[in-house]
A and B are shown apart, each in its own frame.
Chain A
Amino acid sequence: MSQLQEEREIILGNENVDAFDFDEVREFVKGADEKLFISHHFETASKMLVQPRGGFPTYEKQFALYEFFVDAKVDVLPLTIDSNTRLNDYTTAKKMLRLSEANEVDMLNGYPLVNHGYRSTRKMMTHFNHPVSLRHGTPDARLLIEIAIASGIFEIEGGPITYLLPYSKNFPLDKAFLYWKYVERVCADYSTLNKPINRESFGPLTATLVPPSITIVIQLLEMLLSLEEGVKSFSISFSQQGSMTQDIVTAKVTRDLAKHYAAQIGCEDAVIHLVYHQWMGAFPTNRDSADQLINMSTVIASMCGADKIITKTREEAVGIPTKEANAQTVANTQYTLNILSGLPAVVDEQEEEILCAEVHAIMEAVFNDPADTLWRKVFNSIKNGIIDVPFSPHIINHNKMITIRDAHKNIRIIERGNVPIPDHCYRYEKSCCNLNKDTTDIVNDIIHDIGIMQ
Chain B
Amino acid sequence: MNRLNARGRAEAPEFTTDITRDTPPAVGAFGIIRGCTRLNPWAMKIVTGVIGNDIHVVANRLMDLSLNARGYEVFNLGVNTYLEEFFDASVETGADVLLISSLNGEAEGWSRDVKPLKAKYKNLDDLVMMIGGNLTVGSGNATDIIPRYQNYGFDLVCHQVDLNTGLDMLEDYLREHKPS
The interface of chain A, by Cβ under 8 A from chain B, is 167, 169-170, 206, 208, 390-393, 395, 399-400, 402, 414-418, 423, 426-427, 430, 435-440, 442-444, 446-447, 450
Contact = CB atoms under 8 A, between A and B. Distances in A.
A392 B58 CA distance: 9
A454 to B, nearest CB: 13
Contacts of A437: 12-13
B15 A393 contact: no
Contact of A440 (B16, B69, B80): B69
B7 to A, nearest CB: 10
B89 interface: no
Nearest to A395: B78
Most chain A Cβ neighbours within 10 Å, of B11, B12, B22, B31 = B12
Given A399-B61, A430-B19, A438 B9 contact: yes
Nearest to A421: B24
B65 A443 contact: yes
Contacts of B28: 400, 415
A399 B19 CA distance: 21
B58 A208 contact: yes
Contacts of B163: 443, 447
A402 B65 contact: yes
B57 interface: yes
A442 B78 contact: no
A169 B80 contact: yes
Contacts of B78: 169, 393, 395
Given A169-B78, A169-B80, A416-B24, A439 B58 contact: no
Please report whether the interface of chain A is mostly helix, strand, loop or mixed according to DSSP: loop
Nearest 6 pairs of A and B residues by beta carbon: A435-B15, A439-B69, A415-B29, A393-B57, A169-B80, A393-B79
A436 B15 contact: yes
Contacts of A167: 55
Interface string B1-42: 000000001111101100110101000111100000000000
A208 B163 CA distance: 18
B150 interface: no
B66 interface: yes
Contacts of B66: 439-440, 443
A391 B61 contact: yes
Given A402-B29, A438-B9, A439-B69, A417 B24 contact: yes
Given A169-B79, A443-B62, A435 B16 contact: yes
Given A440-B69, A443-B163, A423 B22 contact: yes
Nearest to A415: B29
B16 A439 contact: no
Most chain A Cβ neighbours within 10 Å, of B13, B28, B80 = B13
A236 B11 CA distance: 43
A438 B11 contact: yes
Contacts of A418: 24
A170 B70 CA distance: 29
